[in-house]
Amino acid sequence: MRIAVVGATGRIGRLTVAALGGAGHEPVAISRSQGVDVTTGEGLDQALAGAHAVIDTTNTQSRVEEQTIAFFRDGTRNLLAAEERAGVGHHVLLSIVGIHEARGNAHYAGKRAQEESVAQGGVPWTIVAATQFFDFPLMVALWTRDGDTVT
């Protein structure tokens, strides 16, 4: 099966591409470094040609809530529109457990917007909510650092 992985050069995307290839699938690696940009839509139509499914592992480093929401919402809408044009049969979104209860975190706000965009889109979908990865607690703690205090 031809499966496009968006965010293919990131932490999870790289592992996903490798796992798909190891399982006998034909992974299509999609990333900005390969000339495909979900935020603008550039290159999406070509990259999704012939894809049966898409796995979205995109991420942003922004900690500004409005920017994070715009990145996830608009990029997902661009991606879903291109998927519809390409006849992609299923969209899989990697999300995070607990984001609907947690407030005050820009990344979680963006992921909530991304989930909403997927649910409102025209491509059949699955949202996989994973727990945070073991190497993320330090990163999350540093987001809330104020001098020597982490909340």
pLDDT at 134: 65
pLDDT tens readout for residues 14-28: 999 999 999 999 999
Q: Where are the domains of the chain?
A: 2-150
**In this model, does residue 133 exceed pLDDT 80?**
no
**In this model, does residue 136 exceed pLDDT 70?**
no
Helix residue ranges per DSSP H, 33-136: 44-48, 65-86, 106-120
pLDDT band at 150 (very low <50, low <70, confident <90, very high): confident
The CATH H-level (homologous superfamily) assignment of domain 2-150 is NAD(P)-binding Rossmann-like Domain (3.40.50.720)
Number of Cβ atoms within 10 Å of the Cβ of 138: 9
Mean pLDDT computed over 35-46? 96
Cβ partners under 8 Å of residue 7, min gap 6: 13, 30, 31, 56, 57, 58, 59
